[in-house]
Amino acid sequence: MMFRTERNRVRSFLVAGAFMLASGAALLPVTPASAQTQARVLPDFTDLVDQVGPSVVNIRTVEKVAERDGSGEMDEEMQEFFRRFFGQPLPNIPRQGPRPNRPQAPQEEARPRGVGSGFILTPDGFVMTNAHVVDGASEVLVTLVDKREFKAKIVGADKRTDVAVVKIDATNLPAVKVGDISKLRVGEWVMAIGSPFGLENTVTAGIVSAKQRDTGDYLPFIQTDVAINPGNSGGPLINMRGEVVGINSQIYSRSGGFMGISFSIPIDEAIRVSDQLRSNGRVSRGRIGVQIDQVTKDVAESLGLGKAQGALVRGVEAGSPGEKAGIEPGDIITRFDGKAIEKPSDLPRLVGNTKPGTKSTVTVFRRGNSRDLSVVIAEIEPDKPTRTSEREEQPAKPSASAAAKSLGLAVSDLTEAQKKELKLKGGVKIESATDAATRAGLREGDIVLAINNSEVANAKEFESALVKADKNKPVSVLFRRGEWAQYALIRPSR
């Protein structure tokens, strides 16, 4: 009975509601006030454009190229072209002057090279842009919003971060406000102003799609969906407070045009670079001379690291700060000056931002234990070519015990000459790799340095380490190939 009463009550409510809708009594009128309230919820960029627009500049670059000989005579190849395709020689064209008896200095012609964007960093004329905008330019022209044009001097450019600073001879310029990148949030509205395809003072907007996006060695980029196209490079990325939070630098594209993903250089990183460019004309970065790689989950578990973190040292450059500090191939660097290394790209950023000559502490995970090493940071230099050993000596008789066969390996001791050349104290050379070893990525010529965190100085220790290994678990192998060391997990054949 109660169920029927409740059902009747619901039916009465629905009938009453239908009557109100039919009569229009339930419809709320859209008044100008409610429309204004809705408009206030959506972002309004008009004030931001008025505020920041005068600080954004257009950058045109010019390069000088060799000009053709202007004597008026065509060379023999062109004459031959006319004889072959037109059946007659080209009529004589009078020369503009007598041909000199000595070679003339080549003349140069100024040609437009590209268009980009930038923004005024200081009132006295320092302008920030991308390094690729001014790279190779013989002349840089900066045009302000008020149409004044200046010839700019390149103060400095850093290709590693794609940041450049140019200087124009002007004062009392409207400089931008620099924002706090730590307060930038994913989902926040941002705006870009630039010159896509040469169209000056173009405004586009979107949201922050991601932060700390790894697309380069030294920069964690800001990813947005703001429309960025050729010509936007070097322009500012602006938050809703009218502050610059990034420099528009790259896009992801399969067509060459915007596809919804663009990347900006965080302004704090750019300011750090620009300060050095303005002071020294170049950027000084630290280095420790190690080749690093990712630590996989399987390797982390096999070594007892717990979780996949840190940077795996694949190689240490001879004579480098890392070698002097005692860093070894196979080490996993987990901290630098107390700061955690979560992924390999964290290390070059931290080291690169450290002043050369600084004594820093590197924490490494080695053979199941962590240890702190003191390293003196050196200044970065061009990468040295990888050396490979060309001298081959007659190896000792390969070892192929039952344990080694289960891994698909046959190894031999290193000769003293090989140890000296490879700068190793021990290890064994793989003479053949099959089955499980091949599947793990090992191959003939690799040098095995450790088995399950135990160093192997020779074939005897190699066999001993295999005998102790748990037959039900993968075998962790630290090996060296050429100059670089890495780990492999061999799952024995059943």
Distances (CA, A) of 486 to 278, 331, 440, 481: 41, 10, 12, 8
Question: Do residues 109 and 65 lie in contact, with contact meaning Cβ atoms separated by under 8 Å?
Answer: yes
- Report the alpha-carbon distance of residue 328 to residue 419 in Å, rounded: 15
- Report the alpha-carbon distance of residue 320 to residue 292 in Å, rounded: 14
- Cross-strand pairs, 292: 313
99-117: b (≥16 Cβ within 10 Å) or e: eeeeeeeeeeeeeebbbbb
Candidate list 117, 195, 209, 233, residue with the active-site label: 233
> What single string gives the DSSP state of each residue in 424-442?
-S--EEEEEE-HHHHHTT-
Whether 132 is catalytic is yes
What tokens does 429 get?
A: 């050379």
Question: Do residues 226 and 250 lie in contact, with contact meaning Cβ atoms separated by under 8 Å?
Answer: no
- Helix H or strand E encompassing 361: strand 359-366
Whether 370 is catalytic is no
What tokens does 380 get?
A: 């970065």
Residue of 294, 288, 315, 462 lying closest to 388 (CA atoms): 315
Question: Do residues 275 and 424 lie in contact, with contact meaning Cβ atoms separated by under 8 Å?
Answer: no
- Cross-strand pairs, 382: none
- Helix H or strand E encompassing 70: none
Whether 374 is catalytic is no
- Report the alpha-carbon distance of residue 487 to residue 302 in Å, rounded: 10
- Helix H or strand E encompassing 378: strand 378-379
- Report the alpha-carbon distance of residue 40 to residue 59 in Å, rounded: 35
- Cross-strand pairs, 392: none
- Report the alpha-carbon distance of residue 303 to residue 475 in Å, rounded: 10
Residue of 317, 337, 338, 341 lying closest to 328 (CA atoms): 317
Cβ of 203: how many Cβ atoms within 10 Å? 18
Candidate list 117, 158, 162, 399, residue with the active-site label: 162
Distances (CA, A) of 289 to 325, 348, 375, 376: 11, 10, 11, 11
Residue of 223, 277, 216 lying closest to 245 (CA atoms): 223
Candidate list 71, 124, 132, 432, residue with the active-site label: 132
What tokens does 107 get?
A: 């003349």
- Cross-strand pairs, 264: 222, 248
Cβ of 323: how many Cβ atoms within 10 Å? 17
Catalytic residues: 132, 162, 233
